[in-house]
Structure 1
């Protein structure tokens, strides 16, 4: 069995987006800092309303999927198709922009903690122009798996099989076969799980420090660092332990597309001509 190693570390950097929402961006801070098919990962976390209150007013997307996962807070989603959804603490939204969507994400709180993530996942060329769609996932619809030593795993997408337990998340049937886990480890605990051999995978600790890899080659991964994992052979194992207090982290894996990526802000296509068409469609009110 091959244990995946920590191959590259991308430290999240402060930035802002939307109408001035303060973020930490790891994947996606530069075109070279992606992991096919993952385009971007943003973390937002603040108890100061000035950091998030203006939210993300109307803006377009084409050619990829966005996943918003809320740890704390309340955000309202609305789009030009008439859809409206509430993102609350512990819930998620999986949106497929496809050929185009114009939407907004506005906080529904005047104070208190707003904390969560937004992940961008590329779509294969054959799906970039399919109709837009989205799914709101309520907290109670995200299964939790309790493991020995107090380890707890939430399965947002894909399936987790550990020992005799197997749990499938609410998001299935995506062409990139994504796995999206939120894992909480008590001090000194270890988490091991198989990963599909051909999938790209990375970790993102948001609390505590992780030790990644087998004991003879373990490397530390600090909070707000995206740890890109090596590939392996037939069976992939991820071993994570911590000796510096409780830790919480995202584990993300997906099948790479191995296609050209041309990005212009909220548009992600395969060729420059397709980007120019997306801009023209948006300017002419024909994005969708």
Structure 2
């Protein structure tokens, strides 16, 4: 297997890691980035666990033998990974207007490494936020009912999904080329999180909305994590086994990464 390398320059992997280290150091020197991501995740956790949970956790969820907290947490973790990646759009837009990306492009290194390093750094941050959110989920009553192996696979899929959306937000940051605009565009992820099965089953929604909510990628990933963590109760509620949802989730994730990476690389070449 050949390694991508610019003649006389660094290989893709080495160059990406150098850029990623810079991004990780920037995050550590600006802990507000991690803190705000955690605060948002914790706020949603407590609101839907203790404020709305008693009213929402009825109907089909209970009849399937699943408690509301076990239903809601897989959706919340998926959303947490999605929201944690939003700051990637602002970071890459800021790097673009500051001239940092131009300086990297002038170096003997693959163009892909310029954004792959940023994506890797943000993926580390997303993983950290998801790990803390998962620990808090167990503290408020979430339990695994399908074995720890499949539960860890579900967590890995949440991380992979967050990684995919980091690519999407990086592409959006390059397209907007403005930190304020990138922040605004990032919040377009909100409809994906609420028009989904994150907090209520999609069969409670109007028919004209249900089709979108049931088949959009965020819902597919949430249902996958539910099937992997809740076993038979999730299958009774969702109607399919975990294999069905894992296949769909991986297809969506691969598609998001492929399209976003292509857009990001094309945009970088034109800047």
> Taking structure 1 as the reference length, what is the TM-score of the superposition?
0.27
RCO comparison, higher one (Cα < 8 Å, 6+):
2
More strand by share: 1
> Taking structure 2 as the reference length, what is the TM-score of the superposition?
0.28
